[in-house]
Structure 1
């Protein structure tokens, strides 16, 4: 594949918050290309700039220097986002939360119901369809968030510390669901994490330190992040 096939390309992309002496550089000149089918873990301690980099990839933030282009994506609907924080709408049940992106896109109700049912089944949450977010656990809520991404059928899935608030076993199930969704849809998957065990589940790993995306994997650096969560 060539650069023309890339979903997202960061070229010397930097992100700075604020101005003058109080300015904070969250990302220093990152170079990164995400290709179709990629499975990438961006590893680093809290505050290393992982989330800021993910926001640049998603278009939630614009680079203060350098560029971020998305040659392989038609628009925001091609990007599915999974965050560490709770993202379900409290007033909607699990099925309605999963259906939300489809409803906003104007999908026919019958098609939406089938898609939602299939998505919840794939992540092992079919029995939760009529429950409210307050009636399910944090791990279940994350699996529902993954199902919502699946229903959207994106070309790129960006997951920001999706297991960060979960115990090891629950986090493993959420990661299983993310990988299953990426395999099912053929989407590229980028996961930020401070957990070496999570990073080890993805074939390509990049370390982030002090806002700098290192050129290649360094297993010692990845191991060091275990003490920096």
Structure 2
């Protein structure tokens, strides 16, 4: 594993609101993610794990402490991809167009854009659905399209927030298979927030969140 950290959180805290209504979502937490990492952040709903992931992605600013990305592109942290709980596909765009939308917005030109989208759809096993509209595919397939949309950006750090939370067990396992295969192909690090034991057991490192407090643990044996 590389000694260069992709993201470093140093005594990070995040509070929402102020005064008597203030809620501390993340207490002072420190961690780092390196190239090749496969990390599960486990914990119940409301434990702060999604907020920590958003801090890592730069989507939230810490109330205290710092988040840095030593080995990533400093121009807008473009090397980070985030998969959210809901696929949020654009209804009137087909699968290929949905997967390529961030590249269009970023100004990536064809033919490079088309190649990247085709590769991403193939990595998660939905390339045969390229011309389908979101209403014509299942929930599990839609979530894999959402993953492809992120993979097409070729991130070095992939952050997935409860990606299997709305899927049944079989669809969740297929999605995790796709995530692991795709990050291996891209050489990306993977951090997944989850309370799903079958997901936790397949990642090499487990961290836990409880009432906003992070506990990191050593690498362990992975269940295949």
Output the TM-score relative to the length of structure 2: 0.93
Contact 2:87 2:145 in 1 (8 A): no
Identify the residue that residue 49 of structure 1 maps to in structure 2: 48
Shift of 1:87: 2.1
Shift of 1:150: 1.4
Q: What runs of 5+ residues in structure 1 fail to find an aligned partner? A: 220-229
Q: What runs of 5+ residues in structure 2 fail to find an aligned partner? A: none
1: CA distance, partners of 2:122 / 2:216: 39
2: CA distance, partners of 1:86 / 1:144: 8
Identify the residue that residue 139 of structure 1 maps to in structure 2: 140
Identify the residue that residue 225 of structure 1 maps to in structure 2: none
Q: Cα deviations across residues 23-68 of structure 1 (Å, max 9, x unaligned)?
A: 0000001111011111100000011001000010001100000111
Q: Does 1:30 align with 2:43?
A: no
Identify the residue that residue 123 of structure 2 maps to in structure 1: 122
Identify the residue that residue 164 of structure 1 maps to in structure 2: 165
Identify the residue that residue 12 of structure 2 maps to in structure 1: 13
Identify the residue that residue 93 of structure 2 maps to in structure 1: 92
The residue matched to 2:179 in structure 1 has which SS? Answer: helix
Query: Which has the larger share of helix?
Result: 1
Q: Does 1:106 align with 2:107?
A: yes
Shift of 1:86: 2.7
1: CA distance, partners of 2:217 / 2:175: 27
2: CA distance, partners of 1:106 / 1:59: 22
Q: What is the aligned-residue RMSD (CA, Å)?
A: 1.3
Number of equivalenced pairs: 216
Q: Which sits farther off after the overlay, 148-157 or 99-108?
A: 99-108
2: CA distance, partners of 1:99 / 1:202: 28
Change (3 A) 1:39 1:127: same
Identify the residue that residue 153 of structure 1 maps to in structure 2: 154
Query: Which has the larger share of strand?
Result: 2
Shift of 1:105: 2.2
2: CA distance, partners of 1:117 / 1:78: 19
TM superposition outliers: structure 1 runs of 4+ over 4 Å: none
Q: Cα deviations across residues 172-221 of structure 1 (Å, max 9, x unaligned)?
A: 0001111111001101100000011101110000011000001426x9xx
Output the TM-score relative to the length of structure 1: 0.91
